[in-house]
Amino acid sequence: MRTARAGKYRHRVTLEWLNPNARSDSGERADAWEPGVTVWAEVRQLRGRLLFAADQANSDTTATIRLRWRPAVAQATGKTLRLRHAGQLYRIDGRPIDVDGRRIELEVMVHEWV
């Protein structure tokens, strides 16, 4: 069984999930993000040719984050999951990509959440 090389995962990324049942003091629905697990990942800021290529598909994409395959992340969208790395929040563009289709590694296209 092939596994993802651990050496390239040198960044700590925290998965933050939306709690759809969160309510404000007045009882209205409120978006509350709850921190989940912190995982090792590879965070690559797009620049130059890679940024230009990503802009063709999605104009907001600013980075790619690769991490070991996780079922919950594989099914996530930008409405349910965001990622935090080095104090910066990232929102998912589209669905995470199963890199080789073998459930070993996920690639997530993200943009900075300001």
pLDDT tens digits, one per residue of 12-42: 999 999 988 877 777 777 778 999 999 999 9
Q: Count how many Cα atoms sit within 13 Å of the Cα of residue 114 in the half-sphere of its side chain.
A: 2
pLDDT in the model for residue 64: 94
Residue whose C-alpha is closest to residue 98's, from 68, 78, 77: 68
The helix/strand/coil state of 35 is strand
Report pLDDT for 14. Answer: 97
pLDDT tens-place string over residues 56-105 = 555 567 899 999 999 999 999 989 999 999 999 999 988 999 999 999 99
Provide the whole-model pTM. 0.78
38: alpha, beta or left? (left if phi > 0; alpha if psi -120 to 50) = beta
The pLDDT value given to residue 113? 81
pLDDT value at position 114? 73
| Secondary structure of residue 97 in the 3-state scheme | strand
Tokens read off for 112: 């900075």
Residue corresponding to tokens 């912190």: 38
**Is the torsion defined by CA of 35, 88, 72, 95 positive or negative?**
positive
Residue 3: band (very low, low, confident or very high) from pLDDT cuts 50, 70, 90: low
